Structure 1
């Protein structure tokens, strides 16, 4: 039996028993005993500048590793700032556990200082909301939270920590991690899938989710190529399968090209592996809804899926791939022409296009072409939201799993903190954040967190002095009447140098290659400020 210690220390012991290497926190008086437990722990406490940034860092760690990222924030105001990360993790199905300090037990329901209802706030946007109510249950609640976050459809779990209860003593042991189910397809599942694939003339396979680790994505693409099935990646999930694979045909969703929508609409069999037919990839619930549908998912509810479901196979991607490789020849009457044509279309789409030279500001196609050449295979790319990221989606490739973090629900402000987390999780890999000017300053202060941790990352900021995505919507519905979308920006390159970083500002196409090379050599935070013509439209997929 362990010696008596405080609940806060028991929580830290349990996290350590679960192999947690670090937590992302903004300190608060409501969980001081947990902070004290971290003082002597091997767990690193990454001190962040704002709770939204801490939450996005934890989300990024969950996406890059498959284990829950851990955030720690204080009551009302801190929990409110964290909420954006909970919403994103819930819609994106990413494992995350957030510990929220609460008011003392006797102060509840008295509208005490910073009091809020943790169940009411997070009940609709977390997989589970738990509160420690007794000293001896603290370790079990932590273990339960860690288990729930990664089981079935992954997502966020929020754990409430009453301030006074954390100082109580307990002799309860720190629980060991619970086993996580890894379902595999049954023989009946495989027989049904085999018959459907053999009968299909125009199948379409969509890979997605956060469960593609190791060689699962490449093995899936190898199998699909052999069976003459094109493989797309879900939007902002391009690291699910290697982008250099001849079976890979790009992505449906925002910024996509026309031919992939046509392939989706003409498909007679839709196979989602870790992905479902959701809003974004189906063109707002309009494309591909009529196809016979097989979904391979650990989510029994198939949350976010729309349209028909003819077969649901409960399996992880890795276990499915293992089974598929034993099914033999499923090509039927299909030729290789369709896969080859879609692959060729994707290659043209990702290349620098033939276009009139940019006369004002930087040509982003040239910048991202240079980044693609210089970043290397070990890149970890993070994206903010908005049209400025589409150049990166088109031209930056992912040939290793766990190399991309972006909000699939479109939340702004993720790129900077996600790059900080990427630099800490994989210190030997190059973390690169792709941001618009609006997105960057939503959590730009977290550059200070990277400096404090001694990490390195490159921040690419596209500056057109406006919230460009919203402007494009305004022009469609209210032409010539821009409202509430203009921005006044600093010299971002000079700004990052106040943190001891290195910055460079480009407002023409001169010295693109030299500037990128110099920034990538810097061992710390580096920032590439790209000034573009505000009239520059976002890339179009028309004609591809």
Structure 2
């Protein structure tokens, strides 16, 4: 669709701002730079259409934009300056790439007449971002801004969603040209063929131990999530979610059997290997879900139905019995319309998987005054039904995914590429996107001090996420691996931390410290009631390095493994 263009000449920077408006952008997350002053001026002129969020670090800005994209299904927009700014932003682009999140990153660039002189802060972004983005381009001609920006948004949302990087040269933004704006194209989604749906249902009818796994994050619409839920429940299928996708299915449902990703329950992994039909819906069959490519044989011994919006991903690792290239919402609607399998043979199998999930989610006993499993399960009962959770990477993150139960209407945002420093800016981006919803961030002490300064952005833009900092004084995941491979030889994993509660109080926020089980819920309630950005520092037992093992247990396991060959 081509919008009526202005009949007068405009600066390139203003045309860029109008291009964002034309694509329906409501928020842009930035760290300002002199390389895009004219775009900033254009955004000032359109400040009633686009909220410009001023961030403190480029990685934080892109994480905020990525969270916005995950929640809305529309491309999040981040804007950074050239050279160091672009390099800082790269981690967020990698998150969007591996998470399949629609994102458009604009990077100010040197004057194009200075190209290849190693000018001040010069970087060839086509080379730099080639392996991290779906498409990388540079706009040197102001007359092509509407065309290239429209295409950038098309690429970010088509097929497998992902990031697009657009460099904008400095002098181009100051050129005066007359050109019409271009809005989004109306594109019908890809629907699954009736023959494919019939074949899928035939495979399902012949199964005795099927397992469905949902993935896809921001590629799902609300209607699509409702439709796929109805299909899965109508067929009484056991349903798992892929890595950090807990929000895709009601965890309290008797059909929910857990998460199949990093730190998955061994009982679920064992049963996944026993299944006789694997329905992979909206997820790549990558390293986390496949347990390091050990779940199935790659020749297709276990029948797999792989549903994905990008045909290039189907069969990339595992050869499916049936691949279905389809928009996920379109597939869900078609699946819901199918006749459910009569008298399915897997009711007992589904119940067995659910019992295993309930067993692993049962809070056990842990040494010390804080039983984090019990505290988190009490917390889930106290939070609103539309809560948004964000999580960082780290061992602490396995506690909420193991012990908490998200319900329908809640969202869970986490980096499937394992990026530390994601959760705090993602929580701020989520709160800016949906100010009325409660947003809870889970982050470790290591991850918080990577991007925790972005809490200043929350104050600057008057939003109040609640940050739970799990403090054990170490890089816990690396310490776990260290103890497994080099027990007792602690190197580079110990941390020195500030008083996190006082840190946020210095901004004028709400800070609390939790050291016992019964303190967490009251502390979070007070934090929410304060109406301020808040940090609840949860001081955990450093000896309890995972939710299944202590450091001493890991050392003992390593010692036994080391002596086993000699004993044999």
Interval containing the TM-score (normalised by the shorter chain): over 0.9
Q: Kindly state the Cα deviation for residue 333 of structure 1 after the two structures are TM-superposed.
A: 5.2
Over the aligned positions, Cα root-mean-square deviation in angstroms equals 1.7
Contact 2:278 2:305 in 1 (8 A): yes
Is 1:59 equivalent to 2:70 in the alignment? no
> How many equivalent residue pairs?
538
Q: What is aligned with 2:18?
A: 13
- Indicate the SS of the match to 1:250: strand
Contact 2:31 2:58 in 1 (8 A): yes
Range 36-45 or range 390-399, more displaced: 390-399
Q: What is aligned with 2:39?
A: 34
Q: TM-score, normalised by structure 2?
A: 0.92
- Indicate the SS of the match to 1:434: strand
Q: What is aligned with 1:259?
A: 267
Contact 1:147 1:180 in 2 (8 A): no
Q: What is aligned with 2:305?
A: 294
Contact 2:382 2:521 in 1 (8 A): no
- Label 1:122 to 1:512 Cα distance change in 2 as closer, same or farther (>3 A): closer
Q: Kindly state the Cα deviation for residue 401 of structure 1 after the two structures are TM-superposed.
A: 5.2
- Label 1:465 to 1:408 Cα distance change in 2 as closer, same or farther (>3 A): same
Q: Using the alignment, how far apart are the partners of 1:67 and 1:197 within structure 2?
A: 33
Q: Using the alignment, how far apart are the partners of 1:218 and 1:540 within structure 2?
A: 34
Q: Kindly state the Cα deviation for residue 147 of structure 1 after the two structures are TM-superposed.
A: 0.8
Is 1:385 equivalent to 2:393 in the alignment? yes
Structure 2 residue corresponding to 1:489, chosen from 487, 491, 497: 497
Structure 2 residue corresponding to 1:135, chosen from 142, 163, 170: 142
Is 1:114 equivalent to 2:121 in the alignment? yes
Q: Using the alignment, how far apart are the partners of 2:316 and 2:251 within structure 1?
A: 25
Is 1:340 equivalent to 2:348 in the alignment? no
Q: Using the alignment, how far apart are the partners of 1:402 and 1:161 within structure 2?
A: 37
Q: Kindly state the Cα deviation for residue 212 of structure 1 after the two structures are TM-superposed.
A: 2.2
Contact 1:217 1:242 in 2 (8 A): no
Map 1:77-476 to 2 at 5 A.
77-209=84-216, 210-289=218-297, 290-302=301-313, 305-331=316-342, 334-353=345-364, 355-356=365-366, 358-359=367-368, 362-400=370-408, 403-476=411-484
- Indicate the SS of the match to 2:526: helix
Q: Using the alignment, how far apart are the partners of 1:458 and 1:520 within structure 2?
A: 7
- Label 1:57 to 1:313 Cα distance change in 2 as closer, same or farther (>3 A): same
Q: Deviations over 1:232-267 (max 9, x none)?
A: 111101111222222211111222212211221001
Contact 2:314 2:323 in 1 (8 A): no
Q: Kindly state the Cα deviation for residue 106 of structure 1 after the two structures are TM-superposed.
A: 1.4
Contact 1:257 1:540 in 2 (8 A): no
Q: Using the alignment, how far apart are the partners of 2:117 and 2:283 within structure 1?
A: 45
Q: Deviations over 1:396-454 (max 9, x none)?
A: 33323571111011011000000001111111100111001001111001000000000
Q: Using the alignment, how far apart are the partners of 1:326 and 1:422 within structure 2?
A: 33
Range 271-280 or range 466-475, more displaced: 271-280
- Label 1:402 to 1:155 Cα distance change in 2 as closer, same or farther (>3 A): farther
Q: What is aligned with 2:561?
A: none
Q: What is aligned with 2:556?
A: none
Range 306-315 or range 470-479, more displaced: 306-315
Q: Kindly state the Cα deviation for residue 511 of structure 1 after the two structures are TM-superposed.
A: 3.1
Q: Deviations over 1:363-408 (max 9, x none)?
A: 2123212221111211100000000111111233332357111101
Range 344-353 or range 23-32, more displaced: 344-353
- Indicate the SS of the match to 2:258: coil
Q: Using the alignment, how far apart are the partners of 2:316 and 2:275 within structure 1?
A: 17
Q: Kindly state the Cα deviation for residue 317 of structure 1 after the two structures are TM-superposed.
A: 2.4
Q: Using the alignment, how far apart are the partners of 2:15 and 2:315 within structure 1?
A: 37
Q: TM-score, normalised by structure 1?
A: 0.96
Q: Kindly state the Cα deviation for residue 304 of structure 1 after the two structures are TM-superposed.
A: 9.2
Q: Deviations over 1:170-221 (max 9, x none)?
A: 2111101123441111111112112211111111111110222214334323
Gaps of 5+ in 1: none
Q: Kindly state the Cα deviation for residue 349 of structure 1 after the two structures are TM-superposed.
A: 2.5
Contact 1:276 1:305 in 2 (8 A): no
Contact 1:151 1:180 in 2 (8 A): no
Contact 1:267 1:288 in 2 (8 A): no
Range 455-464 or range 504-513, more displaced: 504-513
Range 326-335 or range 530-539, more displaced: 326-335
